[in-house]
Amino acid sequence: MRTRWLVVGLTVSVLLNLYLLLGWLRTHQPQAPVPRLATRRPVVITNLLRPLRTNIVFAPRLLSWRDIESEDYPTYIANLRAIGCPEATVQDIIVADVNELFAARRLAEVPNPRREWWRSEPDPELVRQAEAKRAALDAERQALLATLLGPDWETRRLTAQAEESRNPLDGEILGTLSAEARRQVREIEQRLARRIESLRATADPEAADPEADLARLEREARAELARVLPPAQLEEYLLRYSTTADRLRAQLRGFNATPEEFRVLFRAQEQMAERLDQLESGPGTPADARRLAALAREYESTLEKTLGPARYAHYRLLQDPLFRQTRQTAERLGVEPEKLIPLYRVNQLAAEERQRVLTDSALTEEDRTRELAELYTAHLASLRQLLGEDAFRRWQAESPP
């Protein structure tokens, strides 16, 4: 009995001790720090730091042309004047800028009749349109400059005049030239113009062939152009502006060549000129004469194959001096186009008969004079019938006796 109570007492004592131990541990755990509220106190400034001018470091932004230039011309002018630009310089800058603007518009908006390089004469309607558009653009340019610079400004035709006097580099082929290529082409043109002017100023009136030196200068300019322009652009330029093309257009007046026909004829003439240049200079030899004759036959054969028999016959007719003279007379008198060929045949027959009479050694001088008079009378009668009385009298009035 006493043993059982002893066990119970020990158990209760152990439990009480454990309870007391747990309570002591709980009361002795470290507490979490309590945040300290900062106390705001008035700030007392004991010294003042005032920056001196010598302590300030400036980082200025440099003035650039973008700060001055403007797409709005009045603003542009005001900016130029604001930086102290002299008035004469302001005018030069604005005139050059406006001229450049309208030069670009002319290239884009004014039709260029010489783009149709295959025509012997430009299309009259296209010429009229080009002149009207050019005049309208020039009036617009003048009005803009008068508005910007005042009504009494002195025109300085920088870009405008220079561009008008040059061969326009426009169209689908030449219009794609870079600015650098355009500059080089203009320099070549200017050098050629100076050389031609110098040649004419110093030319010997007694020279046997003054055109040979001119042709040499043009060949040199062409070689320079070939170093600047690709083949397609070089040919387009030459088709428009070369002496060969101008001469060919004159020869083909009335032929109404197509672009392809003109190009073929132009290339044939260019090839013939190159081969002629390869012949030795100086007095002609029999061998040179034979080579020239062979070149001429080859040239004519190329033309006939390209044009076909009918068109080639028409082309050869246009090369006849008598036909060209007859055509000029008919145009001057206002004769109907359908009468041109009959007039040519009458003149041709009269010329052949006159040549026959002049070279007939069997005729006496009296017979020759009589036959020539009869031929002249018959020729006049044929002309009167073809031309009509009014045109015939006008022809007689302007013809030498």
Question: What pLDDT is recorded for position 11?
Answer: 55
Q: Is residue 28 part of a domain?
A: no
Distance in angstroms (rounded) separating the CA atoms of residues 51 and 57: 11
Domain that holds residue 361: 321-398
Query: Pick the residue with more confidence: 349 or 204?
Result: 349
Question: What pLDDT is recorded for position 258?
Answer: 92
The closest of 174, 214, 222 to 195, measured between CA atoms, is: 214
Question: What pLDDT is recorded for position 96?
Answer: 85
According to the per-residue pLDDT averaged within each range, which of 31-40, 280-289, 300-309 is highest? 300-309
Question: What pLDDT is recorded for position 17?
Answer: 59
Q: Is residue 9 part of a domain?
A: no
Query: Pick the residue with more confidence: 2 or 122?
Result: 122
pLDDT band at 185 (very low <50, low <70, confident <90, very high): very high
DSSP per position, 82-131 = HTT--HHHHHHHHHHHHHHHHHHHHHHHS--GGG-TT-SS--HHHHHHHH
78 has a pLDDT exceeding 80: yes
Distance in angstroms (rounded) separating the CA atoms of residues 197 and 284: 30
Query: Pick the residue with more confidence: 95 or 203?
Result: 95
- Quick one: 76 and 133 in the same domain? yes
Q: Convert the pLDDT of each residue in 42-64 to its tens digit.
A: 544 444 445 545 554 444 555 56
Name the E strands within 297-378: none
Q: Convert the pLDDT of each residue in 299-346 to its tens digit.
A: 888 888 888 999 999 889 988 999 989 998 998 989 898 999 999 999
Q: Convert the pLDDT of each residue in 230-263 to its tens digit.
A: 999 999 999 999 999 999 998 888 888 999 999 9
The DSSP 8-state label assigned to residue 31 in this structure reads: P
- Quick one: 310 and 335 in the same domain? no
289 has a pLDDT exceeding 50: yes
Q: Is residue 110 part of a domain?
A: yes
According to the per-residue pLDDT averaged within each range, which of 223-227, 251-255, 387-391 is highest? 223-227
Question: What pLDDT is recorded for position 221?
Answer: 93
End-to-end, the C-alpha distance of the chain in Å comes to 185
Helix intervals (H) in 230-279: 231-241, 243-251, 259-277
Question: What pLDDT is recorded for position 342?
Answer: 93
Kindly state the tokens that stand for 49. 């730091």
Helices 365-387, 340-359: axis angle to 10 degrees equals 180
Q: What are phi and psi of 111, to 5 degrees?
A: -65, 140
Question: What pLDDT is recorded for position 63?
Answer: 52
Q: Is residue 225 part of a domain?
A: yes
Query: Pick the residue with more confidence: 82 or 261?
Result: 261
Question: What pLDDT is recorded for position 45?
Answer: 47
Give percent of the chain above pLDDT 70.
Answer: 75
Mean pLDDT for the chain? 79
Q: Is residue 338 part of a domain?
A: yes
Residues with Cβ within 8 Å of residue 75, at least 6 apart in sequence? none
Q: Is residue 56 part of a domain?
A: no
Whether the predicted model's global pTM rises above the 0.95 cut: no
Query: Pick the residue with more confidence: 210 or 275?
Result: 275
Question: What pLDDT is recorded for position 181?
Answer: 92
327 exposure class (CB count in 10 Å sphere: 0-12, 13-18, 19+): buried
1 has a pLDDT exceeding 70: no
Mean pLDDT in residue range 261-270: 91
Q: How many domains does the chain have?
A: 4
The DSSP 8-state label assigned to residue 152 in this structure reads: T
Q: Is residue 391 part of a domain?
A: yes
pLDDT band at 84 (very low <50, low <70, confident <90, very high): confident
Q: Is residue 104 part of a domain?
A: yes
According to the per-residue pLDDT averaged within each range, which of 51-60, 66-75, 199-208 is highest? 66-75
- Quick one: 95 and 155 in the same domain? yes
201 has a pLDDT exceeding 80: no
Give percent of the chain above pLDDT 90.
Answer: 24
In this predicted structure, which of 19-28, 135-144, 172-181, 372-381 has the lowest mean pLDDT? 19-28
Distance in angstroms (rounded) separating the CA atoms of residues 286 and 295: 14
